[in-house]
């Protein structure tokens, strides 16, 4: 039953990607930030098998505990069955307790889903067909940003510098000419994944086949990227209010100082306080900081993003800037850089979440 005067928000999390657990942690933070006097939360978890479950949305149960990530299972709540609404009013959720309810009854959906089957345009397409407003990028931008190959192509077409790379589709191998062009070391990664899953640093070509096999456990399309020596710099971007120009946050620098060869999954989420140092804002010359922010906004626009994105860069010792990747639904965990950067820019976590929801409601569903 909808509470009069409150905005009804479906927070959808979990999902079928390897980033399931991080999605749950992000969702717990988002739910905890929503003012109960203004919002009625409908917490919907998706199991790794794709089953939709109405949960209690307790932020405490969605936190990392003893280095273990939370998980949505069939026992996490009430099983939901999605089906078409025969009246043509979006999608129906069949709740065994309350009976059929229209998902369209919610005012907005916050899909806190990371990776495939959530951040890649799939749920966005479903919500568009149902005519339900949602937080974040549209179908095209979500799909293009999820696929690192097409992120690079679109941003390069806008004049944003990118490093050398090669694409290995299923069954392909790296030629000797490509090895010479890329040099060593290289990073081998799934083209359509996030949170550093499936990434291997290769310092000897004899390691390449094994690294490609690891990446292909997640995605049959693999990127081999020349290592860019430099600092890892991140920038948050928000859709402009009232149709204005997208806004860039202050920048952040991430430094891995112990036990991890690069900023991998464990360094990001499990051991972050022990092995990483963060500068927010990043200590960069003003000219370089402005360049990064400009590139971030240009990348956001080039991919036709909406709502939010985190845009990651490398800055070399010579102060050259190269795009790394774009995340259209970046992590919202307590250690995540996107909310940290906006807090340092003057927009604290609860106000950030509120702004994202208001932006989605103002934008509505459909083409824009």
* 201 is annotated as contributing to ligand binding: no
Q: Is 232 marked as a binding-site residue?
A: yes
189 is in an annotated binding site: yes
221 labeled binding residue: no
Catalytic residue among 17, 335, 336, 345: 336
Is 228 assigned to a binding site? yes
Nearest 5°: the CA angle 237, 239, 242 is 150
The answer to whether 307 is a known ligand-binding residue is: no
Q: If we measure between CA atoms, which residue out of 178, 86, 151, 181 comes closest to residue 310?
A: 151
Residue 231 annotated as lining a ligand binding site:
yes
Q: Which residues pair with 169 in a beta bridge?
A: none
> Distance between CA atoms of 96 and 21, rounded to whole angstroms?
26
148 is in an annotated binding site: yes
The per-residue DSSP string of 261-316 comes to SSS-HIIIIISHHHHEEEESS----HHHHHHHHHHHHHHHHHTT--SEEEEEEEE-
Asked if 336 is an active-site residue, the reply is yes
The single residue of 17, 29, 195, 249 carrying the catalytic annotation is 195
- Is 230 known to sit in a ligand binding site? yes
Check 17, 19, 26, 253 and give the catalytic one.
19
Confirm whether residue 312 is marked as ligand binding. Answer: yes
272 is catalytic: no
> Residue 58: which of 32, 23, 95 has the closest Cα?
32
Going by C-beta distance under 8 Å and a sequence separation of 6 or more, which residues neighbour residue 337? 234, 236, 252, 254, 278, 280, 310, 330, 331
Decide if 168 contacts 212 (C-beta within 8 A).
yes
Whether 225 has a binding-site annotation, put simply, is yes
The H-or-E segment that residue 209 falls in is: helix 208-216
327 annotated binding-site participant: yes
Helices 139-146 and 122-130: crossing angle in degrees, nearest 10, is: 180
C-beta of residue 225 within 8 angstroms of C-beta of residue 196: no
| Annotated binding-site residue? 283 | no
Annotated binding site for Mg(2+): 312, 325, 327
Annotated binding site: 148, 187-189, 195-196, 225-232, 312, 324-325, 327
Annotated binding site for ATP: 148, 187-189, 195-196, 225-232, 324-325
Instruction: Provide the annotated active-site residues.
Output: 19, 195, 336
């Amino acid at each position: 039953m909808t509470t009069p005067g409150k905005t009804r928000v479906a927070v959808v999390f979990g999902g079928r990607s390897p980033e399931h657990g991080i999605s749950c942690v992000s969702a717990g933070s988002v739910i905890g930030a929503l003012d109960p006097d203004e919002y009625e939360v409908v917490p919907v978890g998706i199991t790794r098998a794709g089953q939709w479950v109405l949960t209690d949305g307790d932020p405490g149960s969605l936190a990392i505990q003893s280095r273990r990530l939370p998980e949505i299972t069939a026992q996490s709540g009430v099983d939901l069955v999605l089906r078409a609404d025969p009246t043509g009013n979006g999608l129906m959720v069949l709740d065994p307790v309350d009976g059929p309810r229209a998902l369209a009854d919610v005012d907005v959906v916050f899909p806190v889903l990371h990776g495939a089957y959530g951040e890649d345009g799939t749920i966005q397409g479903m919500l568009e067909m149902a005519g339900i407003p949602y937080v974040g990028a549209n179908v095209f931008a979500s799909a293009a940003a999820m696929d690192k190959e097409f992120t690079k192509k679109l941003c390069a077409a806008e004049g944003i510098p990118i490093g050398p790379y090669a694409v290995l589709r299923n069954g392909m191998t790296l030629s000797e000419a490509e090895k010479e062009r890329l040099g060593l070391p290289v990073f081998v990664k799934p083209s359509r994944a996030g949170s550093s899953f499936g990434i291997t640093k290769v310092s000897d070509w004899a390691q390449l086949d094994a690294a490609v096999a690891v990446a292909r456990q997640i995605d049959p399309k693999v990127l081999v990227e020349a290592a860019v020596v430099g600092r890892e710099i991140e920038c948050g971007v928000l859709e402009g209010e009232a149709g204005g120009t997208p806004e860039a946050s202050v920048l952040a620098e991430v430094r891995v100082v112990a036990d991890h060869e690069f900023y991998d999954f464990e360094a990001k989420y499990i051991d972050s306080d022990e092995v990483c140092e963060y500068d927010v804002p990043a200590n960069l010359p003003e000219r370089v900081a402005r360049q990064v922010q400009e590139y971030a906004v240009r990348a956001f626009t080039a991919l036709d993003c909406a709502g939010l994105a985190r845009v990651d860069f490398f800055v070399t010792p010579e102060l050259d800037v190269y795009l790394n990747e774009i995340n259209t639904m970046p992590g919202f965990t307590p250690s995540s850089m996107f909310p940290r950067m906006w807090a340092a820019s003057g927009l604290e976590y609860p106000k950030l979440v509120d702004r994202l929801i208001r932006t989605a409601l103002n934008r509505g569903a459909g083409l824009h």
